[in-house]
Structure 1
Amino acid sequence: MTTPAETLRSLARTRASLDGEEVTYWWTGDVYSWAPDEPYERVFGFEGLNVARLVQGPEDGQGAYRLLTREAAFYLDPDSREILETWRDQPVVHVWNDPANQKWRPFPVPVADLGDQVCFSLEIPLAYPSPLPVAEYPVHSSGDTYKALECFQFFARRADLAGGAPSVPATMSWTRMSPWLPWMARGQRPGGLTFQCRGRKLGSYAEVPGRIRAYVAGHHPEFAHAPETWTEPNETSWTYFRKLHPPKAESRREPGFTGRRP
């Protein structure tokens, strides 16, 4: 891995498979709330999956890739780990991101030498106009700018990367700092959420825990497979919420509502 193109190729083998076969990652963890002058609280468990297919085309350029993915993730009771349907009388909106695609071109991927392992790090700060502006979503929007930080780490064995297989076994960690979720209905209350998860590349989708596969099959069975073709824009929890609740359906600001909720 002496050039950006070689490093990206190793990351591609870790994150997906060079032969275009579907690759499933599964993860589990917890979601913590934070707010000024309040204790940190573990508010949800969190479990999800991503099914990806790596493709290369002449339009992508030398050493570039397109990662076609769908990802689903579910908010859990923090103790029983059961999938939630409501939280504090609010209907829970789970993660159904279709698509969640990426374009990769050679760049200096941060790599850490951990002895017999290699760690690839992707740190992604986000700041862009929110799909849920406060004027249209006073109860469900934290602000007119969406700000978050996503930190991924992918771990693979050096010996596996030295081989010629198109895909190598891997584990991963993921940390995310974000605003309150729209369906939590916390308006502009100060604070937000921290997600902390860990997971691994599975041998196939069939290795996803049975209750998760059953939930996907009962709600959006297409999430068992990666997309076949590139589409855009990507779906996020914020754009998905907007689809479920178009602005004209959003309730008006409640009398006396200050943007703060218990």
Structure 2
Amino acid sequence: MIRKGLAGLLAPIAILLTTGVPGASAQDAAPGPTHPGPVYATVTDTSGKLSLQTFGRPDGKDMVFRISGSVYANIEGNSLDPAMRHGQKLFNIEGYNIRKLYRVPGTNQLYQLSREIVFYTDPADPRRVLREWKNPIDGRTYPVVPINNDTVNFGPFTITSAYAGPPLQQLHEETVWTSDIPVRTNFATTLGEGFGLAGGVYAAQEMFDFSVDRREVEDRTGPGVPEGAMQTKISWARTSPWVPFMCLPETDVRGQLTYHARSWSLDSYSQVEPWLRAEVEAGYPLYKSTPAAPGASENSWTSFYNKQLGKGATTWAGWCAANGRA
């Protein structure tokens, strides 16, 4: 899928952009060094164009994937009942990932740069952000730490006319494709912190279904550089260990979490609902925009390590002992 070389890129792109190609705009006539448009415009494969447009807007501006869903307890043999039963809805989740395509200056390589903020909310009221959660196993109440990953980056992807995306499937009027990602990370080795995980290893499964309407596919896969965000719907499911703020050691408390959520594209942060923007602006204003350049990525566990544990200044067990309220 990834190939080398981009001989003679800028000259043909300049010709395309100045001859009224659909989707091109005046600002694309003189793209900046990190603008993805000239590189994106070389892609000919429909799937390649669609997948790149889920990474970010080809016009280089920020876009948002709004996320809304629920989190359930997945407990082998229902072994924690009645304190916590298998299938119990523990949280709603509400938030977004804000992202953009970024070109490495002077190259044909693209990154997806993003930040994501997702709040755990009341299981009966998705708009009521939870500040604390009572652990039914130990009876203690802990602060709720949202998913706040700064940053979440992918790449670089080398882009040529041969760049191709995943296999596509046509379901009625929708073009769909999937991305299933098994995740295994030994935090005991990489961070020196095991989080109560079996062997200190984080093991999860991330599963995505992408869906784009046939008319949107037709409108956005022609020549040139489309403006705005492609109208995309995503179904997301994740199985993962108990998150760190729950203070449930996987080694002692058998079970895991199942996330089931929907996501949909928005043109910009301004289209996020006012109640959610207010929450972000009150406590997490960094997440109003994307990173300026590539950098190290976080997930829920490394973010917790960096921000709650002070990058190892305290341990996960120490944090739980200090923050749990009887």
TM range (shorter): 0.7 to 0.9
Counterpart contact for 1:55–1:65, Cα < 8 Å: yes
Q: Identity, % of aligned pairs?
A: 26
Question: What is the match of residue 23 of structure 2?
Answer: none
Aligned partner of 1:17 among 57, 60, 64:
57
Query: Equivalent residue for 1:260?
Result: none
State the SS of the aligned residue for 1:249. coil
Letter in 2 for 1:227: P
CA drift at 1:207 = 1.9
Q: Deviations over 1:82-104 (max 9, x none)?
A: 10010010111111111101114
Q: What per-residue deviation string (whole Å, max 9, x for no partner) do you get for residues 42-71 of structure 1?
A: 10001110111112336764xx53111011
Query: How much does 1:245 deviate?
Result: 1.4
**TM-score, structure 1 length as denominator?**
0.85
Structure 1 segment 1-262 matched on structure 2, within 5 A: 6-38=46-78, 39-57=86-104, 61=108, 65-81=110-126, 82-88=128-134, 89-103=141-155, 104=157, 106=163, 108-130=165-187, 136=193, 140-143=195-198, 144-163=200-219, 164=222, 165-166=226-227, 167-187=229-249, 188=251, 189-232=253-296, 234-243=297-306, 244-246=308-310, 247-250=312-315
- Distance (Å, rounded) in 1 between the aligned partners of 2:57 and 2:118: 22
- Matched residues in 1 for 2:247 and 2:190: separation? 14
Unaligned runs of 5+ in 1: 254-262
Q: How many angstroms apart in 2 are the aligned matches of 1:157 and 1:191?
A: 38
Q: CA deviation at 1:132?
A: 8.6
Larger of the two Rg values belongs to structure: 2
> Offset of 1:252 from its aligned partner?
6.0
Residue aligned with 2:87, SS: strand
Distance 1:252 1:153, change over 3 A: closer
Residues 116 and 15 (structure 1 numbering): CA distance in 2 closer, same or farther, change over 3 Å? farther
How big is each residue's C-alpha offset from its partner over 1:107-134, in whole Å with a ceiling of 9 and x where there is no partner? 6513221132111211111112126999
SS at match of 1:177: strand
Residues 74, 97 of structure 1: CA spacing in aligned structure 2 closer, same or farther, 3 A cutoff? Answer: same
* Partner secondary structure for residue 211 of structure 1: helix
CA 134–10 in structure 1, closer or farther in 2 if over 3 Å, else same: closer
Residue segments in structure 2 that go unaligned for 5+ positions in a row: 1-42, 79-85, 135-140, 319-326
2:15 is matched with which residue? none
2:104 maps to a residue whose letter is G
CA distance 1:52–1:191, change in 2 (3 Å): same
Deviating more after overlay: 13-22 vs 103-112:
103-112
> What does residue 258 of structure 1 align with?
none
The answer to whether the 8 A contact 2:103-2:111 is kept is yes
1:115 to 1:251, Cα distance in 2 relative to 1, 3 A? closer
Q: Write the distance in 1 (CA, Å) between the matches of 2:240 and 2:165.
A: 26
Is the Cα–Cα contact under 8 Å of residues 156 and 171 in structure 1 kept in the other structure? yes
Residue 257 (structure 1) aligns with: none
Q: Summarize the Cα distance change of 1:25–1:252 in structure 2 as closer, same or farther, 3 Å threshold.
A: closer
CA contact (8 A) 1:70 1:227 kept: yes
Following the alignment from structure 1 to structure 2, what is the Cα–Cα distance between the partners of residues 229 and 133? 24
For residues 199 and 215 of structure 1, what CA distance do their matches in structure 2 show? 19
Amino acid at match of 1:250: T
CA distance in 2, matches of 1:60, 1:47: 37
Sort the Cα spacing of 1:107 and 1:177 in 2 relative to 1 into closer, same or farther, 3 A. Answer: farther
Q: In the comparison of the two structures, how many residue pairs are matched?
A: 246
Instruction: Decide which structure has greater strand share.
Output: 1
